[in-house]
Structure 1
Amino acid sequence: MKTLLTAIMAMLIASASWAAATITIVNGDPPGSGFNDPTPAVPVGGNTGTTLGAQRLNAFQAAASKWGETLDSGVPIRVLATWEALPCTDTAAVLGSAGALEVFADFPEAPQRNAWFGKAETNKLIGFDADPATPDIRARFNVNLGQPGCFTGSPFYLGLDNNHGANTDLVTVLLHEFAHGLGFQTYTDDQTGELLAGIPSIWDYFLLDTSTGKVWKDMSNAGRAASAVRSGKLVWSGVRVTNAAQLVLQAGTPILTLLTPPEVAGVIQIGTAAFGPPLSSPGLTGEVMPVVDTSPDLGLACAPLSAINAQAVKGKIALIDRGVCTFVVKVRNVQEAGAIGAIIADNVPGAPPPGLGGSDARIVIPAVRITLEDGLALKQALARRTRTHSGLFANLGVNLAVRAGTDALGRVLMYAPRPNQPGSSVSHYDTSATPNQLMEPAINADLKHEVRPPFDLTFPLLRDIGW
Structure 2
Amino acid sequence: MRTKTTMHKIARPLIMAACALACVGAHAAKIDIKSRDPAGKGFNDPTPVAPVGGNPGTTLGEQRWNVYKYVAKVWEDALQSDVTITVSAGWEALTCTSSSAVLGSAGAYNLWHDAPGSQPQTWYPQALANKLAGVNLSEGQPDDGSGYANVDIKTQFNMNLGNPGCLDGSPFYLGLDGNAGTKVNFVETLLHELGHGLGFSVLSVQTSTGFRINAAGNAYVSSGGLPSVWEQFMYDNTAKKTWLNMTSAERKASAINPLQLAWNGPNVVAGATMLSHMPMIKLESPAPGGSRLIDYNASAFGPAINTPSLAGAVAAVATQAGELGNACSPFNAANAAAVAGKVALMSRGGCTFAEKVKNAQNAGAVAAILANNVAGAFVPGGSDPTITIPSGGILQSDGDALKAAITAAVPYGGRGNPGLVIASWSSDPARIAGADSAGRPLLYTPNPLVSGSSVSHWDVTATPNLLMEPNINSDLGIELMPPKDLTLPLLKDIGW
1:404-443 correspondence runs (5 A) = 404-443=433-472
SS of equivalent to 2:181: coil
Larger mean CA deviation between 156-165 and 396-405 belongs to 396-405
Larger mean CA deviation between 407-416 and 161-170 belongs to 161-170
Aligned-partner residue type, residue 137 of structure 2: A
SS of equivalent to 1:222: helix
Equivalents in 1 of 2:266, 2:252: separation in Å?
Answer: 25
- Structure 1 runs of 4+ aligned residues shifted over 3 Å read 255-258, 266-281, 301-305, 320-323, 326-330, 343-349, 353-357, 366-380
1:99 corresponds to 2:107: yes
Which residue of the other structure, out of 349, 366, 378, is the alignment partner of 2:374? 349
1:252 corresponds to 2:252: no
1:17-96 correspondence runs (5 A) = 20-96=28-104
Contact 2:377 2:461 in 1 (8 A): no
Equivalents in 2 of 1:95, 1:235: separation in Å?
Answer: 28
Relative distance call for 1:23 and 1:402 in structure 2 (3 A) is: same
Aligned-partner residue type, residue 183 of structure 1: G
Equivalents in 2 of 1:41, 1:150: separation in Å?
Answer: 20
Aligned-partner residue type, residue 166 of structure 2: C
Give the match for residue 161 of structure 1.
Answer: 177
Q: CA deviation at 1:62?
A: 0.5
Deviations 1:33-85 (A, max 9, x none): 11111222322222222222121111101111110111000000000011011
Aligned-partner residue type, residue 193 of structure 1: G
Give the match for residue 244 of structure 2.
Answer: 217
Equivalents in 2 of 1:103, 1:237: separation in Å?
Answer: 23
Relative distance call for 1:396 and 1:220 in structure 2 (3 A) is: farther
Contact 2:116 2:132 in 1 (8 A): no
1:460 corresponds to 2:489: yes
Q: CA deviation at 1:443?
A: 0.9
Equivalents in 2 of 1:375, 1:41: separation in Å?
Answer: 47
Q: CA deviation at 1:344?
A: 8.7
SS of equivalent to 2:466: coil
Q: CA deviation at 1:126?
A: 0.4
Contact 1:168 1:445 in 2 (8 A): no
Give the match for residue 120 of structure 1.
Answer: 127
Aligned-partner residue type, residue 279 of structure 2: P
TM-score of the two chains, using structure 2 as the length reference? 0.69
Aligned-partner residue type, residue 107 of structure 1: A
Relative distance call for 1:449 and 1:275 in structure 2 (3 A) is: closer
SS of equivalent to 1:175: helix
Relative distance call for 1:73 and 1:42 in structure 2 (3 A) is: same
1:302-381 correspondence runs (5 A) = 348-352=373-377, 371-373=395-397
Contact 2:227 2:244 in 1 (8 A): yes
Equivalents in 2 of 1:277, 1:78: separation in Å?
Answer: 40
Give the match for residue 177 of structure 1.
Answer: 193
Equivalents in 2 of 1:428, 1:322: separation in Å?
Answer: 25
Give the match for residue 189 of structure 1.
Answer: 206
SS of equivalent to 2:462: coil
Contact 2:357 2:391 in 1 (8 A): no
SS of equivalent to 1:202: coil
Aligned-partner residue type, residue 196 of structure 1: I
SS of equivalent to 1:122: helix
Equivalents in 1 of 2:62, 2:393: separation in Å?
Answer: 47
SS of equivalent to 1:58: helix
Give the match for residue 218 of structure 2.
Answer: none
Give the match for residue 478 of structure 2.
Answer: 449
- Give structure 2 stretches of 5+ with no counterpart: 1-7, 10-25, 142-149, 215-224, 284-291, 311-315, 317-333, 339-344, 349-355, 361-367, 405-410, 413-423
Equivalents in 1 of 2:369, 2:188: separation in Å?
Answer: 35
Larger mean CA deviation between 450-459 and 132-141 belongs to 450-459
Larger mean CA deviation between 270-279 and 142-151 belongs to 270-279
SS of equivalent to 1:59: helix
Larger mean CA deviation between 89-98 and 53-62 belongs to 89-98
TM-score of the two chains, using structure 1 as the length reference? 0.73
SS of equivalent to 1:253: strand
Contact 1:162 1:449 in 2 (8 A): no
Relative distance call for 1:200 and 1:356 in structure 2 (3 A) is: closer
Equivalents in 2 of 1:34, 1:176: separation in Å?
Answer: 20
Q: CA deviation at 1:165?
A: 2.4
Aligned-partner residue type, residue 185 of structure 1: S
SS of equivalent to 2:208: coil
1:143 corresponds to 2:159: yes
Equivalents in 2 of 1:367, 1:151: separation in Å?
Answer: 24
Relative distance call for 1:91 and 1:74 in structure 2 (3 A) is: same
Q: CA deviation at 1:425?
A: 0.8
Paired residues in the alignment total 421
Relative distance call for 1:51 and 1:280 in structure 2 (3 A) is: closer
Q: CA deviation at 1:93?
A: 2.0
Relative distance call for 1:344 and 1:100 in structure 2 (3 A) is: closer
Equivalents in 2 of 1:321, 1:419: separation in Å?
Answer: 21
SS of equivalent to 2:178: coil
Q: CA deviation at 1:163?
A: 2.4
Deviations 1:71-127 (A, max 9, x none): 0000000000110111222332222211001111122311x3332110000000000
SS of equivalent to 1:97: strand
SS of equivalent to 1:195: strand
Equivalents in 1 of 2:302, 2:170: separation in Å?
Answer: 29
Contact 1:45 1:161 in 2 (8 A): yes
Aligned-partner residue type, residue 22 of structure 1: K
Contact 2:125 2:197 in 1 (8 A): yes
Relative distance call for 1:327 and 1:25 in structure 2 (3 A) is: closer
Give the match for residue 9 of structure 1.
Answer: none
Cα RMSD (Å) of the superposition?
Answer: 4.9
SS of equivalent to 2:212: coil
Aligned-partner residue type, residue 82 of structure 2: G
